[in-house]
Amino acid sequence: MELFKYMEKYDYEQLLFCQDKESGLKAIIAIHDTTLGPALGGTRMWMYNSEEEAIEDALRLARGMTYKNAAAGLNLGGGKTVIIGDPRKDKNEAMFRAFGRFI
C-alpha cells in the first residue's frame, strides 16, 4: 500500500502509531475527517495478521465513523483506534493506562 496516496485519495488527516514497551501496547490511531468537529470513534483490539492489516482496518473504520456521525447529524468527524493484540489475554491495566496517555 502506498500510504500517503491512499490517505490523500480518501481524505484522511492523520495516522498515528503508539507504542509502549513496558505494557506491550501497539496501537494505531486513524483520523479521517474533522471538518464537522473533533473525531469520534471507538477502539478495537484484535490479533491482526500483519501491521499493514491493522493500518488498513484503522483507516477503514475511521472513514466509516465520519459517515456514521454525519448521518446521525452530529457535529463530529470520524476516527478510530486499533490495538494490536489478543483481546482474550493481552488486556491489562498498564496497557490501557498507556493507551489513555496517547489519547
Q: Total domain count for the chain?
A: 1
Answer yes or no: are the C-beta atoms of 42 and 64 closer than 8 Å.
Answer: no
DSSP one-letter code for 87: T
The CA distance from 16 to 83, in Å, is 12
Supply 15's cell numbers: 495516522
* pLDDT for 58: 98
**Maximum Cα–Cα distance across the chain:** 41
> Residue 29's domain spans which residues?
3-102
Active site positions, annotated: 80
* pLDDT for 1: 78
The domain that contains 32 carries what CATH number?
Answer: 3.40.50.10860
Model pTM score: 0.94
Of 12, 9, 95, which Cα lies nearest the Cα of 58?
12
Mean pLDDT, residues 25-30: 99
The CA distance from 29 to 91, in Å, is 18
